[in-house]
Chain A
Amino acid sequence: GENVEQHPSTLSVQEGDSAVIKCTYSDSASNYFPWYKQELGKGPQLIIDIRSNVGEKKDQRIAVTLNKTAKHFSLHITETQPEDSAVYFCAASIYGTASKLTFGTGTRLQVTL
């Protein structure tokens, strides 16, 4: 089955700096890659996703890049703010198969003042 590895497990950045979280996947058939943000005591919330027919997608301060050849994808957060502090999860699935997501182990991002 699919295996998703996520790095780093913790990340501390100063407010205003950029943060990058990286994930690799094992199944070349995977073609849908969402990113979730989880705040303390809450369920994961989708923040951005990408399908394998594009290499990059942006939404304001958040962007995701995908390298299908290397089987890795990354989340980029620019101009970080304290409210970006949370745990971020990447995931992978094969689109059209009931979205059986395989998740990475999470990255705890702390944005310091």
Chain B
Amino acid sequence: DAGITQSPRHKVTETGTPVTLRCHQTENHRYMYWYRQDPGHGLRLIHYSYGVKDTDKGEVSDGYSVSRSKTEDFLLTLESATSSQTSVYFCAISESNREQETQYFGPGTRLLVL
């Protein structure tokens, strides 16, 4: 998994509660991403980061916020979880240089919002 860990790996929460998912990388990559995976939709980009404190929105950012205070950590927060945010969440990092731009994914976090 290219030195990527995600925590927690599984979480059950109730509608309206805040939830924070953590992505940690050990290889000092500049770019980090959060995706959600749902049946029939593939993977969709939520937010991404191109450096410490530098983040931007993806395709499905509504209801989510992110923070990156250190190179190695990228946090995804659901301010007030809804049932539509039940999904599998994947973090990814990018090896980006002049020769190659490849994304590698973490193991995922399965979130159930009741």
User: Taking the complex as formed, is A81 at the interface, i.e. its CB lies under 8 A from any CB of chain B?
Assistant: no
CB closest residue in chain A, given B107: A43
CB closest residue in chain A, given B49: A98
User: Taking the complex as formed, is B69 at the interface, i.e. its CB lies under 8 A from any CB of chain A?
Assistant: no
User: Taking the complex as formed, is A18 at the interface, i.e. its CB lies under 8 A from any CB of chain B?
Assistant: no
Give the number of A-B contacts (CB < 8 Å). Answer: 57
B residues 70-114 touching A (CB-CB < 8 Å): 90, 94, 96, 101-108
User: Taking the complex as formed, is A67 at the interface, i.e. its CB lies under 8 A from any CB of chain B?
Assistant: no
Which of B41, B42, B50 has most A Cβ within 10 Å? Answer: B42
User: Taking the complex as formed, is B34 at the interface, i.e. its CB lies under 8 A from any CB of chain A?
Assistant: no
The number of residues on chain B lying at the interface, defined by a beta carbon within 8 Å of a beta carbon of chain A, is 24
User: Taking the complex as formed, is A101 at the interface, i.e. its CB lies under 8 A from any CB of chain B?
Assistant: yes
User: Taking the complex as formed, is B63 at the interface, i.e. its CB lies under 8 A from any CB of chain A?
Assistant: no
B104 surroundings in chain A (CB, below 8 A): 46
Contact of A100 with B50 in the complex, beta carbons under 8 Å: no
Contact of A106 with B42 in the complex, beta carbons under 8 Å: yes
Contact of A34 with B42 in the complex, beta carbons under 8 Å: no
A10 surroundings in chain B (CB, below 8 A): none
Contact of A95 with B101 in the complex, beta carbons under 8 Å: yes
Contact of B42 with A43 in the complex, beta carbons under 8 Å: no
Contact of A89 with B42 in the complex, beta carbons under 8 Å: yes
Contact of A42 with B31 in the complex, beta carbons under 8 Å: no
- A102–B33 Cα distance when bound, in Å, is 13
With A43-B90, A45-B105 in contact, is A101–B45 under 8 Å at CB? yes
- A101–B101 Cα distance when bound, in Å, is 11
- Interface positions of B (Cβ within 8 A of A): 1, 31, 33, 40-45, 48, 50, 58-59, 90, 94, 96, 101-108
Q: List 18 A-B contacts (CB under 8 A).
A: A1-B59, A4-B42, A34-B103, A43-B90, A43-B106, A43-B108, A44-B90, A46-B102, A46-B103, A89-B43, A93-B101, A98-B96, A99-B96, A99-B102, A99-B103, A100-B58, A101-B45, A103-B43
